[in-house]
Amino acid sequence: MTQPQAASGLTGEMFLGERRVLGTEGTVRAVDPRTGEEVGVEYGLGSAAEVDIAATLAAQAHPVYRATGPEERAAFLERVADNIAALGDTLVAQVLLESGLPEPRVRGEIGRTTGQLRLFASVVRDGSFHGARIETALPERTPLPRPDVRQRKVPVGPVAVFGASNFPLAFSVAGGDTASALAAGCPVVVKAHEAHPGTSELVGGAIASAVAESGLPQGVFSMVYGEGPVVGSALAAHPAIKAVGFTGSRRAGVALMQVAAAREVPIPVYAEMSSINPVFLLPGALAEDAAGIADGYVASLTTGAGQLCTSPGLVLAVAGEGLDTFLERVGEQLPGCAAQTMLTPGIHSAYEAGVERLVNADGVRVVGRGATPAEGAPTEGQALVVTVPAETFVANPALGEENFGSSSVVVVADDTSALVRVAQEIEGQLTATLQATGADHEAAAALLPVLEDKVGRILFNGWPTGVDVGQAMVHGGPFPATSDGRSTSVGTLAIERFLRPVAYQNVPADLLPAPVADANPLGIWRQVEGDLTRD
């Protein structure tokens, strides 16, 4: 592809249902992170007034949208996917312009975005998300009769989704939060991320068109532009919004949690925020292939300039010959890793400040750095790996904070027992990885119960970057990785965030909703008298 150009026909307007509206509370333009120059059209920023319109439309649409049948809702999700795919090279060019990401990554992210939508369409058709349970009446039971009780899950209501900076597509306007909320039967109001407004307009248009083409109420989807403290807070506080999906910084996520908790009727915020994804290099694995592990580590650390929520920002290992070989190899590999364009000037500045704090911290030794950024490349990030003794790491909590980018801390412990003690001090994380052989299984067995309390996903002999979107995936973890460690933002289980259970006791048969009706008109799997059946 030639030098990317802004898509033609972009208007700078937000979507308030079927209306296109230009905000009047200031403007924002995208910045090409490779040059630092503003590009594309100006986007009008909205205010609490636009949020009120969007949220009110969503509330009005909810009764109709929640009642859509499985085929209608699934077909709508597939139409959104088709519309996004039809944008083709126009969308690719816009993402490249606004993010500086490499083209293969962008095309892969488009595939992931449309794939998620199609996956949730299959979830809707399958129907098991209803969680149907049936216990029929036992009037002769003693000492008390049992009533007829049936349970299913219903959509919570309109959901506010906040677009992420590091995934302009897969975690943004039509990303996993939006796909799972729409699949659950919830209208969505998106706050577009200011780093990629043109990408957001293109994808927002694809969704808005799908809403109209499917004959759905206009309030099923809206998208607003605006400053986080104004528009974001107004969204989280609006009484029509019943849940929030967010991917971003710990500071912004906690702020949204506070707004949502302070409402007259508090609502859940599902925020993915901060993770350094510890990797444990156990002695047997290092003895067997320290150099190969080092190569995998450097590749994972530098993928996407380290701007992935699962980047391995922390390594823990026992001092010895194997670790020495690992560190030597890392030091040899890093200078060959090119500096990479980071997503925004702000992210780059924050990363550089974090690097400065790391290298100046007491007890820290630099293992190696990546290649020097090129002249005239204002947002290129240079990889960094440092080591620190375990006792120093534990004594300085700042060393365990996320520095979003390709920097990583290697913690050196005296023995495997010390690894367990350090693991007990780590904050909640999205992932933990163990590099281990059969000889390490005793040490791994000691670590596993600790890690189960700390993370949402445990990997063996792999790397945390690269999250498969499927039925069993968990992309979540205890605070501060997420605001609710019981949930996931990736995979089909993500739909559970936007559903709540309702029980129906002794409801007449002709009034029962389809998922728990006697004849099972949807043909779904249900738990009847404790047994799974489609009867």
Active site residues: 272, 309
d(CA 165, CA 262): 26
Contact yes or no for 476/448 (Cβ under 8 A): no
Residue of 273, 239, 303, 398 lying closest to 102 (CA atoms): 303
b/e string for 413-449 if b means 16 or more Cβ within 10 A?
beebebbbebbeebbbbbbbbbbbbeebeebbeebee
User: Could you tell me if 84 and 115 are in contact, meaning their C-beta atoms sit under 8 angstroms apart?
Assistant: no
Structure tokens at 64: 């109709």
Q: Could you tell me which residues come within 8 angstroms of residue 461 by beta carbon, excluding any fewer than 6 positions away? A: 285, 434, 435, 436
Which amino acid does the sequence have at 6? A
3-state helix, strand, coil in the chain (%, to 5): 45, 20, 35
Question: Which residues have a Cβ under 8 Å from the Cβ of 442 and sit 6 or more positions away?
Answer: none
**Rounded to an integer, what distance in angstroms lies between the CA atom of residue 275 and that of residue 489?**
14
Exposure on the CB side of residue 251, measured as CA atoms within 13 A: 4
**Which contiguous run of DSSP H or E holds residue 271?**
strand 269-272
Q: Which phi and psi angles does 411 have, rounded to 5°?
A: -95, 125
Edge-to-edge strands, sheet with 149-155: 499-505, 149-155, 133-135, 526-528, 531-533
Beta pairing, strands 455-460 & 365-369: unpaired
Measured distance CA(314)–CA(328) in Å, rounded: 17
